[in-house]
Amino acid sequence: MPSRRTLAIANSQHTVRYYPGRVLAYAVMKQLLLLTFVAFASEAMAQDAQCVPERAAMVEIIRAYARLEADALGPQGISERVLEAVGKTERHRFIPGHPSCSVAYMEAPVLIGKGKTISQPFVVALMTHLAAVKFDDTVLEVGTGSGYQAAVLARLVRKVCTVEIIPPLAEAAAKVLRELGYDNVTGKVGDGYEGWPECGPFDAMIVTAALGHVPPPLIEQLKMGGRLVMPLGAADAPQQLTVIEKITPTETRTRSVIPVRFVPFTRSQD
């Protein structure tokens, strides 16, 4: 069976033969437009196909890390639904400077500008898993950074609201999320300590910067039974990745998972 492209060319030969003059020019232009469209479509497909082996390898490494952390995570490790989402999310597109596929998908944090980093893939997958999100959920992320964690979440839930305190990072993230078609993510510039009441209430929250305590406004905006996942502890020492579950309007249950190291939660842009 001929490809769409071969068919387009075959049709053009047939059409051109019978229409001279202005009609011929019109037919040629139409054909050129069609060929341009086909060229763009194949370029987009090639981009989608970029880094596919590296992403698959990354998922296997995440599985291996999860097995090492079986005491904290249980024998099931990270849910297949989350692994599928990280396996499809274009991490390389969120990293400034067009890194190679091997750099973008290595099991390490990556610099994203302004001294900030995207966490290593295992930690992104683990936080997403611990947030235990469902298809119909509304989720808050504090610390948009590159937009990568928001993109992973966007594949799993109905709506993601993400707050970033550094305007150029928020703008760059919004741009790439828009380009990649993540239209269920809404972002804003601000201090995520205050949450985002107008976007909530939230079924789950992920905070991607380290703080010594849980911001009370976040607990207020969390639904009953909702989970907040964040690195708790001082900025200059390892923190504990912690799950805080809202069990009654005034009570939470807290579980420490593993030690982690995150960039500091700040209350101003610097």
Site residues (vs ligand SAH, CB under 6 A): 112, 116-118, 142-143, 145-146, 148-149, 163-166, 169, 191-193, 208-209, 263, 265-267
Taking the CB of residue 165, how many other CB atoms lie within 10 A of it? 21
Q: Which residue is nearest to ligand SAH (CB)?
A: 145
Choose, from 3, 119, 146, 268, the residue flagged as catalytic. Answer: 119
Query: Does the annotation count 79 as an active-site position?
Result: no
Residues whose CB falls within 8 Å of the CB of residue 191, separated by 6 or more in sequence, listed in order: 163, 165, 267, 268
By beta-carbon proximity to ligand SAH, the closer residue of 27 and 263 is 263
Q: Tell the smallest beta-carbon distance from residue 128 to ligand SAH (Å).
A: 11
Question: Which token pair is 47?
Answer: 């981009």
Q: Tell the smallest beta-carbon distance from residue 15 to ligand SAH (Å).
A: 50
Name the β-bridge partners of 214: none
Integer-rounded Cα Rg, in Å, for the chain is 23
Buried b (16+ CB within 10 A) or exposed e, 84-105: ebbbebbbbbbbeeebebeebb
Q: Tell the smallest beta-carbon distance from residue 40 to ligand SAH (Å).
A: 29
112 contacts 95 by C-beta, under 8 angstroms: yes
The DSSP code sequence of 111-147 is EEETTEEEPPHHHHHHHHHHHT--TT-EEEEE--TTS
Residues whose CB falls within 8 Å of the CB of residue 123, separated by 6 or more in sequence, listed in order: 241, 260
By beta-carbon proximity to ligand SAH, the closer residue of 27 and 154 is 154
Q: Tell the smallest beta-carbon distance from residue 127 to ligand SAH (Å).
A: 9
Q: Tell the smallest beta-carbon distance from residue 8 to ligand SAH (Å).
A: 41
By beta-carbon proximity to ligand SAH, the closer residue of 31 and 117 is 117
By beta-carbon proximity to ligand SAH, the closer residue of 138 and 146 is 146
By beta-carbon proximity to ligand SAH, the closer residue of 35 and 109 is 109
Q: Does an H or E element contain 230, and which?
A: strand 222-232
Residues with catalytic function: 119
